[in-house]
Structure 1
Amino acid sequence: MKIYIKMDKVITFTIVLLALFTLSCEKDLLDKNPLTEISSSTFWNTKNDADMALAGCYARLNNSTFNFESKMSLDVLAGEASNGSGNAQNMALGLVESTSGGLISSVYNDCYRGIASCNFFLANIDNTPIPTSTIDVYKAEVLFLRALFYFTLTDYYGGVPLYTETLENIGEAKVAQSSKEEVIAQVIADLDLAITNLPNTDYSSAGHAVKGSALALKSRVLLYQGDWSGAAAAANQVMTEGKFSLSDDFQNMFLVYGQDANPEIMFSTRYLNPDNSNQQDIRIEWHGVWNPREELRDAFECTDGLSISESPLYDPANYKLNRDPRLEYTLKPFDDPAVKASGEILPYAYNNPSVTGYMPTKGADVEALPVDYATRSEHDWILLRYAEVLLNFAEATNEISGPTTEVYDAVNAVRGRTGIGMPPLPDGLSKDEMRARIWNERRVEFAMEGLRYSDIRRWKLAETYINTLVEPNSGTPRVFNPTKHYLWPFPQSEMDVNPNLQQNPGY
């Protein structure tokens, strides 16, 4: 059974935040505790208070930045899909400005709201009369969350304002951004403390971060910085400790049916009907927001392990034939109907036709069809999974030592998992050849999960790939300007209130 921190606690903690952070000009209101709200003087007195506060920090994940909405739209920016939400399509065409809104503002605001909650928790949890050992674990969870929020910010904006304590007034928020290196140093420091104090178990059924969650995130952070030794070491620690493994049900790993006690899921944004639901099925299977592109379709190998340009098994008239099973679990032709487990066949009722001719299948629950506005989905959105740890290790180790046996083993484990069964990589690959295979393995394994945009930017492929693309319905070219688009602009609303913030180059 799926279990999650009760949302009534999250709602209560939201009241607490409002009570503590809302300013008033009326002195008499400040001199007494509102009878209908919890005040700072009556909070942090019990374990239940601490649990509510912790729930409030986790609740900061329940926004578009850390679920399907932004993550799938990032694949639009990466050239894997068209359309999308959060202004993704305009951004993909090079229309990226401080006033763009959408992803530009939502990612920034969502992360800083999370950071504020984390800092508030860390500043007050020691006041709660609970065992120090419990406090240490709670702090570790919140440090992990703060690291996730700050890493997300610096991945898109570079250096950002760095706050590690609660702010007494609005003036304290008006600081210049720290360098990206300083922010990353804080992220690693938070993760190292989290790794020390989090329980070394599999991912909690209650949705709490564990040691492996923090190690997996540390591996990603260091990989993105080109710290191959650090990334490989963090990944290897997860692999050696053996608390996680690959799922044998790739398709259902992204749906509620396959997520309870799944050994591959290392951290996720959690949902539970009816109080904490999302619109994943509405947005994917009805609104049809994201349209996968042919370039993504063609990246999947044939079942002989060769690309479609090399394999004698590839049939241009039937692209599905003899292909990596993950292709079917990722996308489908727009006109293909849904087939339920019962054998019932029914059409999708998309709002609009796909501009590419394809629709996602990853994260789409055919059992929920027909979908309408009453549909409430509770699929968790996976933020970290064990397959990434293996591929992080393989990429980092290949950069250090070339294609060692350990590199082959890690990549082949992902390719050959139960239910996928792709053949091992051929022996004798060079370092460059192995790098290319790992890059493509990441592309197909994590398709429509939001990692590709970061990958092509850190590999410095964005301008050479994105600028070759045109929109299939209009012929409009994609634009990625390397002098500015490797970073997003700070939202204009932030520039207006913080005179010390320096806008990123080109905006």
Structure 2
Amino acid sequence: MKTIKILKYKLIALCLGLMCACSGMLDEELFSQMAPENYLTTQEGIKSTLDAAYAEGYLNGYSHHSVRNIEEWCTDIEWETGGGENRTAVLMIDFTWDASVGWMYGDMWLKPYRAIRNANVVLENVKSANIGDELKQTYAAEARFIRALSYYYLHSWFGPVPLRQSSEDEIYLARPSEEEMRQFIESELLAVISDLPAPGEEQAYGRATNGGARALLTKFYLNTKQWQKAADMAQEVMDMGDYSLYPDYAMLFRVENEQNSEFILAYPQIPNSPGNNYMNGAFPEGFANHPETGLTFQNSWRNWAAQYRLYDSFYNSFEEGDARMGLIIESYVNGQGNTVSLLNNDNTRSFKYWPDPNGLGNEHGNDVPGVRYADILLSRAEALNELNGPNQISIDLINMVRDRADLDPLELSDFMSTAQLRQHLLNERAWEFYSEGKRREDQIRMGTFVSSAIDRGVTNAKPTHVLFPIPQAALDANEMLVQNDGY
């Protein structure tokens, strides 16, 4: 394998240098599984490389922070002021981003491609490794899942991107067609379902399962408007019987309730590094406590100059009595003991990732949901509406989510057209998934991303903004890459 050969040549060069400096010191033959030519033949070597693929492919720590903010600040839910990151926030809010945005290159281009590289190394070496066949099969399936996940994200952000499937690939690769990109992601996810462990049987919490692959495939079909496939795959997830809605929305995202039955694909965070640092920007200036919940600021936490604010239009859109509003604060007590109102100034705050009592510095331990069971229910409801118009199955699925939010059930007679139910689903998804980085893809899929920005006064928003620009550094490194239209 090319990877092993490169490591072997480096070892030979090192040995020659040492022999010249001190003859005879390497007379004894080396027997060690840590020798470069042996490392990727061991379970330890394969697993550590696979772990590295997970670390790069999952949204964790600061990469989750960057991606979530990029995905939310260009929508009708959230905006930002203050701190160093306001330079990026202004670009997203005003639709003036370009190919030089650092977060797009570091966290949305390089990181997924590092995951792909590591996954390819696993796939190139696992067959000849000294481990059992069953474990080989599982490791290979996990590597293919991480590779497909990385391409899923890249495709959603930039459109078709070069498909690197081997370390033997040419240095410069052109972009595939849209059809080729879709076919690769779909085929990879379909192929690994039978080889991934069932939920609860994975080696460690957060690793890929066959439920996670089905859930990701559901979202892929939905976002590419393959409605029948989306409806069918969502039904497969439901039929597994492993997942359900967590009964209390307000408690769902707390550290003490992670590893619950609703998080199908979860990105684990830890309260040091890499951790979830959303709350540092959600705390309002001078936050001391929130009397309604008893939350008191701890000295071990951080309150950034960056301020993550919700638009009043979003806050006021909730139906009266919606329990999901319980994770949005509208007032607080500051350090001087004064009650500060956040209403009517585009300034209410999402406390969805409720502060971790063991949070340290910038990092909290709240896991990030990649796909939740609520998303599967609403995805099937949406797909069936696009296929058949308003129907009872879609209404029943939506009502399952609304019931947890303590809302009255919808009636089929409330909706006279596909467009009407589509608009309600767009609203329902905003109320359910705010602060989770889903809004941009939802608005793009339902055709409101650009028009909504124009309605907010962003007059330069254009249809080409549904894709981000290929980062300039990536273009400079690959002479065969072509920029997206409009940039």
- Name the CA shift for 1:347/1:448 in 2 (closer, same or farther; >3 Å): farther
Q: Deviations over 1:123-144 (max 9, x none)?
A: 1111222221221112112211
- Name the CA shift for 1:355/1:219 in 2 (closer, same or farther; >3 Å): same
Question: What does residue 389 of structure 2 align with?
Answer: 402
- Name the CA shift for 1:443/1:279 in 2 (closer, same or farther; >3 Å): closer
1:382 counterpart SS class: strand
Question: What does residue 174 of structure 1 align with?
Answer: 172
1:260-409 matches, cutoff 5 A: 260=259, 262-274=260-272, 276-285=274-283, 286-287=303-304, 288-302=306-320, 323-329=321-327, 331-333=328-330, 335-337=331-333, 356-365=346-355, 367=357, 374=361, 376-409=363-396
Question: What does residue 255 of structure 1 align with?
Answer: 254
Structure-2 separation of matches of 1:391 and 1:188: 21
- Name the CA shift for 1:415/1:58 in 2 (closer, same or farther; >3 Å): same
Q: Is the 8 A contact 2:312 2:344 kept in 1?
A: no
Q: Is the 8 A contact 1:122 1:142 kept in 2?
A: yes
Q: Deviations over 1:102-124 (max 9, x none)?
A: 33553011111111111111111
Runs of 5+ in structure 1 lacking a partner?
A: 1-16, 303-322, 339-344, 471-476
Question: What does residue 74 of structure 2 align with?
Answer: 77
2:173 counterpart SS class: coil
Q: Deviations over 1:257-312 (max 9, x none)?
A: 1113x00001121123456544344343312532111121122112xxxxxxxxxx
Q: Is the 8 A contact 1:293 1:358 kept in 2?
A: yes
Could you tell me how far 1:478 is from its partner in structure 2? Answer: 6.0
Runs of 5+ in structure 2 lacking a partner?
A: 19-25, 284-302
1:82 counterpart SS class: strand
- Name the CA shift for 1:192/1:366 in 2 (closer, same or farther; >3 Å): closer
Q: Is the 8 A contact 1:291 1:354 kept in 2?
A: no
Question: What does residue 486 of structure 2 align with?
Answer: 506
Structure-1 separation of matches of 2:10 and 2:36: 18
Q: Does 1:201 find its partner at 2:199?
A: yes
Q: Is the 8 A contact 2:391 2:412 kept in 1?
A: no
Question: What does residue 103 of structure 2 align with?
Answer: 102
- Name the CA shift for 1:456/1:206 in 2 (closer, same or farther; >3 Å): same
- TM-score norm. by structure 1 comes to 0.79
Q: Does 1:480 find its partner at 2:481?
A: no
Question: What does residue 14 of structure 1 align with?
Answer: none
Question: What does residue 13 of structure 1 align with?
Answer: none
Count of matched residue positions in the alignment of Structure 1 and Structure 2: 445
Q: Deviations over 1:363-396 (max 9, x none)?
A: 131746xx8x735421111111100000110000
Structure-1 separation of matches of 2:461 and 2:269: 35
2:329 counterpart SS class: strand
Q: Does 1:493 find its partner at 2:480?
A: no
Could you tell me how far 1:238 is from its partner in structure 2? Answer: 0.7
Letter in 2 for 1:380: D
Structure-2 separation of matches of 1:347 and 1:133: 62
Q: Is the 8 A contact 2:66 2:107 kept in 1?
A: no
Q: Does 1:219 find its partner at 2:206?
A: no
1:500 counterpart SS class: coil
- Name the CA shift for 1:374/1:157 in 2 (closer, same or farther; >3 Å): closer
Structure-2 separation of matches of 1:396 and 1:505: 29
- Name the CA shift for 1:62/1:348 in 2 (closer, same or farther; >3 Å): farther
Structure-2 separation of matches of 1:465 and 1:455: 12
- Name the CA shift for 1:382/1:453 in 2 (closer, same or farther; >3 Å): same
Structure-2 separation of matches of 1:157 and 1:23: 37
1:425-440 matches, cutoff 5 A: 425-428=410-413, 429-430=415-416, 431-440=418-427
Could you tell me how far 1:66 is from its partner in structure 2? Answer: 5.5
Structure-1 separation of matches of 2:145 and 2:339: 40
Could you tell me how far 1:187 is from its partner in structure 2? Answer: 0.7
Q: Does 1:116 find its partner at 2:117?
A: yes
Could you tell me how far 1:153 is from its partner in structure 2? Answer: 0.6
- Name the CA shift for 1:104/1:426 in 2 (closer, same or farther; >3 Å): farther
Structure-2 separation of matches of 1:441 and 1:88: 25
Q: Is the 8 A contact 2:74 2:95 kept in 1?
A: no
Letter in 2 for 1:332: I
Question: What does residue 52 of structure 1 align with?
Answer: 48
Structure-2 separation of matches of 1:489 and 1:279: 26
- Name the CA shift for 1:245/1:163 in 2 (closer, same or farther; >3 Å): same
Q: Is the 8 A contact 1:280 1:364 kept in 2?
A: no
- More divergent stretch after superposition (273-282 vs 139-148): 273-282
- Name the CA shift for 1:31/1:396 in 2 (closer, same or farther; >3 Å): farther
Query: Pairwise CA RMSD of aligned residues?
Result: 3.4
Question: What does residue 433 of structure 2 align with?
Answer: 446
- TM-score norm. by structure 2 comes to 0.82
1:493 counterpart SS class: helix
Structure-2 separation of matches of 1:203 and 1:480: 46
Q: Is the 8 A contact 1:249 1:258 kept in 2?
A: no
Return the index of the structure with the highest Cα Rg: 2
1:383 counterpart SS class: strand
Letter in 2 for 1:82: W
2:455 counterpart SS class: coil
Percent of aligned pairs with the same amino acid: 25
- Name the CA shift for 1:273/1:297 in 2 (closer, same or farther; >3 Å): closer
- More divergent stretch after superposition (383-392 vs 18-27): 18-27
- Name the CA shift for 1:425/1:492 in 2 (closer, same or farther; >3 Å): same
Question: What does residue 146 of structure 1 align with?
Answer: 147
Question: What does residue 293 of structure 2 align with?
Answer: none
Question: What does residue 244 of structure 1 align with?
Answer: 243
Q: Is the 8 A contact 1:202 1:263 kept in 2?
A: no
Could you tell me how far 1:76 is from its partner in structure 2? Answer: 1.0
